């Protein structure tokens, strides 16, 4: 599963970078003005790829929450790798384009460093651990439970954790739409160059 995730996120980084550069030059029809850089006359701004990544992330964690097969797990891990690979290169590019390249390292670390640290602490330490521990406590009275065996078995071990991450990914859609709207002028100027 680690190899699938790594391969998917590596390929996604390259493909998203290429696609986002090409998409800046696309001529969109009038009905795509909500994601375009100006009423159907501009290309697709890079924050639109964050919107896509949020949708893929929500789908991947939903798949991981409901799947009970190895194939489903592999599909969910691959989708998760694709979403992860889409986000981080876009963050670097968007940060540089919106705030300039002079202090791109400091500006980027605010987004990447802060969000990664807080997200890892909250989701990995508190949420996932609480769900895992609660699942063990629920099954201590089961006939197959061996005393002192504090391992979690079955699909329920992380189901709630994946559902929570899936819902959080859906909230990223709102942020992405806000970012698309607030950076519209940045991408209009870029297209005019």
pTM here is 0.78
Lowest mean pLDDT among 3-17, 32-46, 106-120: 32-46
Mean of pLDDT over the chain: 80
Task: Please name the residues in contact with 185: beta carbons below 8 A apart, sequence gap of 6 or more.
Answer: none
Mean pLDDT of 159-170: 87
Q: How many residues does the chain have?
A: 193
Q: Are 152 and 135 in contact (CB under 8 A)?
A: yes
Task: Please name the residues in contact with 67: beta carbons below 8 A apart, sequence gap of 6 or more.
Answer: 73, 75, 76, 155
Query: What was the pLDDT predicted at 80?
Result: 93
Mean pLDDT of 32-37: 53
Of residues 101 and 42, the one with the higher pLDDT is 101
Mean pLDDT of 161-173: 88
What does the DSSP 8-state code read for residue 121?
Answer: I
Of residues 191 and 43, the one with the higher pLDDT is 43
What does the DSSP 8-state code read for residue 123?
Answer: I
Which of 192, 187, 193 has the alpha carbon at shortest distance from 90?
187
Query: What was the pLDDT predicted at 83?
Result: 94
């Amino acid at each position: 599963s680690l190899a699938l995730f790594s391969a998917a996120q590596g390929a996604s980084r390259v493909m998203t970078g290429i696609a986002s550069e090409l998409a800046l030059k696309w001529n969109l029809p009038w009905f795509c003005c909500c994601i375009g850089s100006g009423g159907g006359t501009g290309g697709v701004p890079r924050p639109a790829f964050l919107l896509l990544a949020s949708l893929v992330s929500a789908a991947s964690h939903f798949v991981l929450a409901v799947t009970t097969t190895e194939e489903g797990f592999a599909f969910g891990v691959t989708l998760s790798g694709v979403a992860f690979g889409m986000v981080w290169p876009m963050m670097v590019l968007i940060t540089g384009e919106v705030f300039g390249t002079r202090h791109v390292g400091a500006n980027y670390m605010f987004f990447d460093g802060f969000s990664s640290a807080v997200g890892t602490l909250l989701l990995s330490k508190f949420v996932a651990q609480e769900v895992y521990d609660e699942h063990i406590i629920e099954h201590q009275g089961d006939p197959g439970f061996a005393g002192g065996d504090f391992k979690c078995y079955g699909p329920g071990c992380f189901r709630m954790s994946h559902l929570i991450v899936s819902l959080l990914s859906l909230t990223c859609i709102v942020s992405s739409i806000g970012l698309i709207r607030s950076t519209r002028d940045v991408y209009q100027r870029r297209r005019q160059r």
